[in-house]
Structure 1
Amino acid sequence: MKRIKSCKTQLFPFRQDGALLERDRVIEDLKQKLRTKEKEVDTLFHRNSYLAREVRYLTDVVQHLNQKLAELEADQQEAREKIRSLLNHRPPVPPARTIIKPSVEPSQLRQVSSLTHELNVSNKQLRSTVGQAMTDMKNQLEELKGAVGKLAQVEQEAAGEVEELRSLYRREAVERKSLYNKLLELQGNIRVFCRCRKSSASGSCLEKTDDQEVVVVQKGNKKKFQFDKVYPQSSTQEEVFAGTLPVITSCVDGYNVCILAYGQTGSGKTYTMMGSKENPGVNIRSIRELLRICAEKEKVSYTLKISMLEIYNDSLNDLLSKSPGTALDIRVQGKSVSVPGLTQIQVKTESDILNVMETGEKNRKIASTKMNIQSSRSHLVVALEVEGSDEVSGLTSRGTLTLCDLAGSERISKTEAEGQRLVEAAAINKSLTALGQVFSALKCNALHIPFRNSKLTHLLQPCLSGDAKCCVFVNVSPDEKDTVETLSTLQFGSTIRQVSLGKATQNIVPAKNNKTAK
């Protein structure tokens, strides 16, 4: 029976792949039909343009012929006037016996007669040409009306097929999203990315073999590490953010999402998470993406609230409080973990969020160490709560995006920390050690997970206990002098990658009875 269940489990992805291939084929057929209709529309447009040019040409011909007719009529009138004038000026009849030579030569009379005949012939030819041109123009106008009517019908049919294609695409997108969420659930809802900091040093201890593998070279020995994605030194902020995008967007659907940045001091964690004003990191880009998705959903109204706190020397500091220094503590109610008294600010635009985060950054504990001129001496936790109220279904979804920029792991002997810097370093290392213990316990499916060993792990308990989707960036330095720290960071990330959090919970509350639907 176990073997049969295993076979069914192995066959399940192929059935999904077959369904996706069938849907892709249907979409491709519809796209082909749409392209054919577009070609027909283009052909009719070209025919329409040709007929319009013909109408303009024939109009010019008719105008020219009318002008020619007028000129001929004028010439004919002038010739008639000359004939009339010649006839009126004939001399009186002389006496019978007197023979007087006529004043008009016979040749002139013959010339006038010939001219009159030619005018009559030209007039008849012109009338015939104009009549034929008008008949042709009328026929072409009738054809043009028929073509325009057919074009309107084709456009209407094309619009209907486009709408059908859009409807099919929306259904396909929903199904793909569902399948992707199932895939993430099967993978454990935790993804680990490795990012290598840019370095101008000549020697490097890292070798990137492909998009999912990195090799550390230490004293001639090579050790391989596998991750969901490896970003080399040349990676841009856009490429790094793209890896987290599918997980971040599920926050709008009522899922809790957590993104952590771990690594030694100076490895680029803050740049990955915060970035700069010109080139923002994961924090700003993820919030920007959530705002865009919320704006697109017309039938759902969203409320966004942001909070920022730091964990400094294992104590919580509210970075947005108007009265800094107020002691904060963590309260646990069932699976819910909250920080009473933590300032939450409602935001509506990206500008609001940037102003709030700039205020919080100014209040953060930063100091200089031997390894980093501006080293973060605390863990930064930014939480964006997204609450959506669906007007159609009456349901309320609530998701939280937690963005955590951890303080740098470091060896005290290397940083040569003294006094307050030494106390800070000890607190940082203690909390990061506790975080490693939590991941080790999760990896082994231990009965007891030591979340309460530090404020950091206690605060992150909802993100790591199976009710959320999680992404972890392990930031490393390629410099040979940092080989030991780089190896330690990659081993930490390798441990995390073996953790399975289980299926994430979607937080949806009916508007009337307030019972959570999972």
Structure 2
Amino acid sequence: FQSSQKEAIRVKEELRKEVECLRADLQQVREDRDQSVAQLNTLTAELATYSEQARKSSKDSELLRIKAAAFEETCSSQQEQIETLQKQLAVATEKLKHADVTAIEAMTGYESQKETIKDLEERLAYAEFQIIEADKLRKKLHNTILELKGNIRVFCRVRPFLSDTDSNGQEEAIISYPSSVENAGRGIDLMNQGQKCSFSYDKVFDHSASQDDVFVEMSQLVQSALDGYKVCIFAYGQTGSGKTYTMMGKPGRDQKGIIPRSLEQIFKTSQSLESQGWKYCMQASMLEIYNETIRDLLAPGRSSSEMPGGKQYTIKHDSQGNTTVSDLTTTNVFSTADVTSLLEKASHSRSVGKTQMNEQSSRSHFVFTLKIFGSNESTGQQVQGVLNLIDLAGSERLTKSGATGERLKETQAINKSLSALSDVIFAIAKNDDHVPFRNSKLTYLLQPCLGGDSKTLMFVNVSPEASSAGETLCSLRFASRVNACEIGVARRQTQSKSSSDNSNRLSYG
């Protein structure tokens, strides 16, 4: 029994231990159950969430599926376009290769031609530069020689046959132009009574020369007036030889004469010099010498039919070689239009008349004077130039002109003044101690130009008709004597800043 009891106690103890283990396991199972229930609840909630997301994802998937189908269709279309473009690209690439080859060949030829053209342009530019420089040097040396020699420059111009004149080839018979290199453009030959007379001047213009051709040759002389020199240009010749046409011209751009062209150049150049600090003021005056009487062509109320009487004008020369005429109307001019208006007024006032040699013969010596005052504020320099443009009355023989009465008196006065001009020229040519400038109003007015320091140019105008051969010969001989005269070298009238105290003499009035 005790053994059984001990065994029972042992079994009981084992069972108790087993019950405790089972209780512990049960507790663990309960805890696991509770944890599983919590996880189940959590998973249930997550399942609900995932179910909702799955539902939304299903909708999104459907939309994406539709979009993917559209994209696949687009891709298929683009793939076809890509294939087409690749084919076109292959064709274009092939063409480009051929074009590159052609372009390379063309570029090679172009570069070769470009080099050739560049070389030719350089050679042409150098040749043109040499020509220009040679021409400048020629003109400069020519001008220097004339200034050193002190000559009055002489240009000769042959008038063409008039429309109402029957030339019958007589121009070739009495007037010709030598073709030798040394005389080309400078020589003229005249046949008179079977004898050939040859003359040479600074420039000879044949009957085909235009107004522009004439002005180009003397434009540098006009420029000298702006530079501060005294410049005198006058036309000499028999009646009807074209002096007034040379000096004044006719309406129309191509027909303008020396006077309007000179004024256009002066105003244009003076405006261009403003950028260099130069400012110019110009004063114009116009007079005529009629029957040894000075008449103011710009006097108020004056016309060719109403000659103011009793007023005397006096010519005065100062120590600087400047010439003034007392009480002469002087007008400030600012443009070519101003001078053109004055020239028209003067032309209406000038004395003209009809003779057997010319329907509209100038019966007086016309003198246009432009005084130019220039100052440069930056350098303080001042210049004073004078431009005298003179249209002399025509010389004529009484037997040819048929002048009587008042016309006879005019012709005698004209021939007397031109004869006095000849006497002055001859006296200067012979270096006489006494030069008779005072024998005529014309020569006294021209004294600074003929015997002073002015740059002087004479135009001798001649007629080509055989009937005028005698007068033409006289004019050419007189021009040769003029060309042989030695006068003083032209001086530029300037004032520097240090001598500006006397600037009132150059005031603009």
Q: Indicate yes or no: 2:482 matched with 1:469.
A: no
Match of residue 460 from structure 1: 446
Query: Identity over aligned residues, as a percent?
Result: 40
CA shift for structure 1 position 424: 0.4
Match of residue 176 from structure 2: 207
The one-letter amino acid paired with 2:270 is C
Contact 2:199–2:476 (8 Å) recurs in 1: yes
Q: Indicate yes or no: 2:399 matched with 1:429.
A: no
81 and 389 in structure 1: CA distance in 2 versus 1, 3 angstrom threshold? closer
Match of residue 265 from structure 2: 289
Residues of 2 paired with 1:266 and 1:117: CA distance? 97
SS for the counterpart of 1:387 is strand
The one-letter amino acid paired with 2:449 is C
CA shift for structure 1 position 510: 3.7
Match of residue 158 from structure 2: 196
Contact 1:258–1:471 (8 Å) recurs in 2: yes
116 and 393 in structure 1: CA distance in 2 versus 1, 3 angstrom threshold? closer
Match of residue 297 from structure 2: 319
Deviations 1:297-331, CA, capped at 9 Å, x for gaps: 12100001110000000010000011542321212
The one-letter amino acid paired with 2:175 is L
Where do 1:250-399 residues align within 5 Å?
Answer: 250-278=224-252, 279-298=255-274, 299-322=277-300, 324=302, 325=308, 326-334=311-319, 335-399=321-385
Residues of 2 paired with 1:471 and 1:243: CA distance? 11
The one-letter amino acid paired with 1:330 is I
385 and 121 in structure 1: CA distance in 2 versus 1, 3 angstrom threshold? closer
Q: Indicate yes or no: 2:354 matched with 1:403.
A: no
Residues of 1 paired with 2:153 and 2:217: CA distance? 9
Contact 1:189–1:468 (8 Å) recurs in 2: no
The one-letter amino acid paired with 2:177 is K
117 and 406 in structure 1: CA distance in 2 versus 1, 3 angstrom threshold? closer
Residues of 2 paired with 1:357 and 1:293: CA distance? 21
SS for the counterpart of 1:310 is strand
SS for the counterpart of 1:343 is coil
Contact 2:151–2:485 (8 Å) recurs in 1: no
SS for the counterpart of 1:244 is helix
Match of residue 501 from structure 2: 513
Residues of 1 paired with 2:326 and 2:380: CA distance? 29
Structure index of larger Rg: 2
Residue ranges of structure 1 left out of the alignment (5+ in a row): 1-73, 83-114, 130-167
Residues of 2 paired with 1:376 and 1:464: CA distance? 23
Contact 1:76–1:119 (8 Å) recurs in 2: no
Deviations 1:323-376, CA, capped at 9 Å, x for gaps: 542321212333433111111111111111100110011000000001000000
The one-letter amino acid paired with 2:264 is R
Residues of 2 paired with 1:189 and 1:122: CA distance? 91
CA RMSD of aligned residues (A): 3.1
Contact 1:308–1:360 (8 Å) recurs in 2: yes
The one-letter amino acid paired with 1:266 is G
323 and 185 in structure 1: CA distance in 2 versus 1, 3 angstrom threshold? same
Deviations 1:219-277, CA, capped at 9 Å, x for gaps: 22101011111111100000011121111101101000000100000000000000011
Contact 2:151–2:484 (8 Å) recurs in 1: no
The one-letter amino acid paired with 1:514 is N
CA shift for structure 1 position 80: 4.1
Match of residue 216 from structure 1: 190
**Number of residue pairs the alignment of both structures matches:** 369
Match of residue 473 from structure 2: 487
Q: Indicate yes or no: 2:376 matched with 1:414.
A: no
Q: Which of 216, 223, 229 is the aligned partner of 1:242? A: 216
Match of residue 64 from structure 1: none
Contact 2:154–2:479 (8 Å) recurs in 1: yes
CA shift for structure 1 position 454: 0.2
300 and 220 in structure 1: CA distance in 2 versus 1, 3 angstrom threshold? same
CA shift for structure 1 position 282: 0.5
- Of residues 205-214 and 227-236 in structure 1, the stretch that sits farther from structure 2 once superposed is 205-214
TM-score by length of 2: 0.67
Contact 2:267–2:336 (8 Å) recurs in 1: yes
220 and 354 in structure 1: CA distance in 2 versus 1, 3 angstrom threshold? same
Residues of 2 paired with 1:399 and 1:410: CA distance? 34
Residues of 1 paired with 2:77 and 2:246: CA distance? 97
The one-letter amino acid paired with 1:314 is E
